[in-house]
Structure formats: C-alpha cells, structure tokens
Amino acid sequence: MERELSGKPSAGAGRHPLPAARDFAAAAQRWGINPDSEVVIYDGTRALAAARAWWLLRHAGLSKVRVLNGGLDAWTRAGYSLDIEEVKARPGSVELGWDKLPVIDIDEAEGFPGVLLDARAFERYTGASEPIDPRAGHIPGALSSPTTENLGADGRFLDPEALEVRFAQLGVHATEGGAGAVGAYCGSGVTAAHQILALVTIGISASLFPGSWSQYSSDPTRTPATGQTP
C-alpha cells in the first residue's frame, strides 16, 4: 500500500495519493503481469487494500482483474492450504496506460452535481470523531455511506440485490448511475475504491476523489460540514 499502491503523501495531495503512472506500470511488471494475465487480488483486511489494487489496475487499462470475495479468511474457511514460502515472480511484459477510470479533483468533489458518497465511518462523517486528519466533518453535500455496510458478517460483499437496495436508499440506482452521477471519497482514497468496487458489481460506475478527506481537510480555504445531514 505505502510503497507501490500510493505516491508520496502531502497536504496538497492527501495521505495516499495515486502513484505516478510510470511507477505503477513498473510495479505491475515486477509482479509478473503479462498482457494476457488474469489477476486475482486478495488481502486480510476485508478487501480494502485489494480494492485499491483492483482500481489501480483497471485505471491503468488492465481489464481482467478480480478481487477474491472474502479475502484470505474466505480461502482458509473453505479449507484451502497456505504456503509459507516466498514467491519470486518472473518479470512480466504488460504495458499499462492510465486514466481509464473516472476521477474528480477537490473542486469537482466540492461542487459535485450528482450523489457524492463518503465511505468513512459514520462518526467521522458527522465530525464526532477524527483520529487521523486535520479537521473533522465531511464535504458539504456528501452522503454517509460507510464501506463496512457493503459487507456481510463473513467479510464477503453483500449479494447484488442487497447492494442495489442499499445504494437505492442513497439515491443511487443501477439504471441511472454513471461516473458523472456518482462520486466516492473516504479518508485518503483507499476505502473509496472499495465503494466503487461494490458499485461496479451492480453495474454502476463512479468517480474517485483520490485526495479524499485527507486533502480536503488540509486545505484552509475549504469549509467542512458537520452533523448527520449533508
């Protein structure tokens, strides 16, 4: 996450800015990815890190990318074994691009014309708690949509029907959703990728605000909203 799935943090770009396209392309080749590779990503953090890697690879133009639903816990619960040996990949030859998925900047997030979803915990959205970033609250107009509500107790994504109901309650509908209609942010642009992955499973495209709250709250010219309403 810190070395290959993010760029250098700063107040102006956020805690986990997107990596440079050239750096990410080099990392993908180190991982052994080839032009015809199908990539499956998993983690042990309820798909939060895996969703970031999924989003980046899709943003870079790789189409055959999946996230293992339920992650490492689901793998072990299913009775599959684990290897303790280090795996060294043979360098791959994939040539990646960039800008294949929609993103919005801080100004576009603040004036977003559609539904802007805040993927952080509800207490951070309201401003009741802010353990990481300079100021508490949320981007004016954003709706609270904690990423944890995309998952069941087993750490797997809710089935599509349940996700459709969840997002419809926020005004996001599969028949209407598009990158210009839905945006997502979180603390530093990582959890928001998880939100976008959940939306993709029901056919909705959403724009990512990479700098997210860590960038917005660091800008003294911005005025956060607090409380339970947008």
**20-63: pLDDT as tens digits:** 999 999 999 999 999 999 999 999 999 999 999 999 999 999 99
pLDDT digits (tens, 9 = 90+) for 128-157: 999 999 999 999 999 999 999 999 999 999
Q: Give yes or no for a contact between 77 and 106, defined as CB atoms under 8 angstroms apart.
A: no
Q: List CB contacts of 142: < 8 A, sequence separation 6 or more.
A: 112, 116, 117, 118, 125, 185, 225, 230
Percent of the chain at pLDDT above 90? 96
Point out the catalytic residue in the list 18, 33, 39, 186: 186
Domains identified in the chain and CATH numbers: 106-216 (3.40.250.10)
pLDDT digits (tens, 9 = 90+) for 103-117: 999 999 999 999 999
Q: CA 117, CA 157: separation in Å to the nearest integer? A: 18
In this prediction the pTM is 0.95
Please check the confidence at residue 84 and state whether its pLDDT lies above 60.
yes
Which has the closest alpha carbon to 12: 96, 105, 98, 91? 105
The dihedrals phi and psi of 165, each to the nearest 5 degrees, come to -65, -45
**DSSP assignment of 39-92:** EEE--SSTTHHHHHHHHHHHHTT---EEE-TTHHHHHHHTT-----S---PPP-
Give the mean model confidence (pLDDT) for residues 60-68: 97
Residue 228 designated active-site: no
Compute the mean pLDDT over every residue in the chain, rounded to the nearest whole number.
95
